[in-house]
Amino acid sequence: MARNTRQRILETALALFNAEGEPNVTTNRVADELEISPGNLHYHFRTKADLIEALFDDFEHRMLQILSAPEERPADIEDIWFLLHVAFETIGEYRFIYRDLTDLCGRYRGLHQRFRGILRLTMEAARSLCEDLIAAERMDASPSELDAVIRNIALVSTFWLAFDQVHDADGVRPDRAAWQVMSLISPYLVGEARTLLQALADAYA
Amino acid sequence: MARNTRQRILETALALFNAEGEPNVTTNRVADELEISPGNLHYHFRTKADLIEALFDDFEHRMLQILSAPEERPADIEDIWFLLHVAFETIGEYRFIYRDLTDLCGRYRGLHQRFRGILRLTMEAARSLCEDLIAAERMDASPSELDAVIRNIALVSTFWLAFDQVHDADGVRPDRAAWQVMSLISPYLVGEARTLLQALADAYA
């Protein structure tokens, strides 16, 4: 029963943080929504920081799984496309983290370090995938071009949600985000990899 | 004398907002720093929102000048390179706006609308510059590729500073930001435009 309450608190907090922004939701608000006493919530999460950390644990666990999936063979375009979709779906589920990222990292120092870890792993995964494509002569990019692409992939992935919100909020669209990141790689693709991406693009449009 | 005080308040507020983040600086703190009374500051800016709006006025004025400079001839690579440097220097001077952009836009609704205007103008300027290059056969991109490039340019320009802060803060480097945006265009360049960009890249490195 206690375990169940803990899980319900996490789910409700996540939904409220996503809908209204983490800075605008107090732990009392979460308790109200669940119709439990603030003391009961306090029993499971002593502070709001503890609650946020538990949500970040779940998010981090899922992102690490996605980004460090074992590779049985060199990656292809479909693998990258699939990885991007899964990653952006997860980011969408925990979008409160990405909405006010600099603010959140400023207020919760521990999170900043851990988010940097996820970012580093994202860049390593992107590099590994691109290097597979280059080795298979499906991509043509110089080392300095590859560095720029990796950095742009990390930047666009991280701030896609915030950009949508500032520019013209229209909800979370993992497929659009995946496509936007793909567009950073596409000009460097050659031969059938380029044809394949065009087919994916047509299927998407 | 009153005019002078107003200007000094703006300069001090800008420096403090940039250094410590706008949410962490009160108007009393600005008055303290200037060694004037809170009442004196209040005489010039009734609320913190008024102070922020006045700073945003200056920023907006400079960005509009940069983004709507009259074109006497079709744009070339050097023109884009120059525009990017000037724009990122201005963004660096008003970096508090970009550091917590989603938060700032959420708290000051009027700013959100005006920032969207700047973003729209940025995308129009980027499109116009790229279309000049395409017309001069210095760039080769399909309409859907151009759309993706324009969106990536706006996203990378807007969140460059926030990314640096989350990833690995090392101060404001307009040249690095300009280079990062250039890398979004460079794979689409052809012929001597590509050679010229490589020369600029070497000069930068």
CATH of the domain at A19: 1.10.10.60
Q: Are residues A14 and A59 in the same domain?
A: no
Interface residue of A105, A120, A166, A182 to substitute, partner B, most B CBs within 10 Å: A166
Asked if B160's CB is within 8 angstroms of A119's CB, the reply is no
> Does the pLDDT value for residue B119 go beyond 80?
yes
CA B137 to chain centre: 29
Q: Are residues B20 and B84 in the same domain?
A: no
Q: Which residue has the higher pLDDT, B171 or B75?
A: B75
Average pLDDT over residues B75-91: 89
Question: Domain end: A9, A28, A46, which one?
Answer: A46
Q: Are residues B115 and B165 in the same domain?
A: yes
Q: Are residues A31 and A112 in the same domain?
A: no
The total number of structural domains that make up chain B: 2
pTM: 0.90
Q: Are residues B73 and B3 in the same domain?
A: no
Do A109 and A56 touch, CB atoms closer than 8 A?
A: no
- Give the model's confidence band at B172: pLDDT under 50 very low, under 70 low, under 90 confident, else very high: low
Q: Are residues B79 and B145 in the same domain?
A: yes
Average pLDDT over residues B59-77: 86
Q: Are residues A139 and A115 in the same domain?
A: yes
Average pLDDT over residues B153-173: 83
Cα atoms in the Cβ-side hemisphere of radius 13 Å centred on B141: 28
User: How confident is the model at residue A170, as a pLDDT?
Assistant: 60
Range of B38's domain?
1-46
Q: Are residues B9 and B88 in the same domain?
A: no
Q: Are residues B93 and B124 in the same domain?
A: yes
Do A153 and A184 touch, CB atoms closer than 8 A?
A: yes
The residue written with tokens 């507020």 in the block is B13
Average pLDDT over residues A185-203: 83
Question: Which of chain B's residues have a Cβ under 8 Å away from the Cβ of A149?
Answer: 183
> Does the pLDDT value for residue A2 go beyond 80?
no
> Does the pLDDT value for residue B154 go beyond 80?
yes
Q: Are residues B3 and B70 in the same domain?
A: no
Average pLDDT over residues B170-195: 85
The alpha-carbon gap from B5 to the nearest alpha carbon of chain A, in Å, equals 31
Q: Are residues B27 and B82 in the same domain?
A: no
Q: Are residues B42 and B62 in the same domain?
A: no
- Count interface pairs A-B at CB distance under 8 A: 105
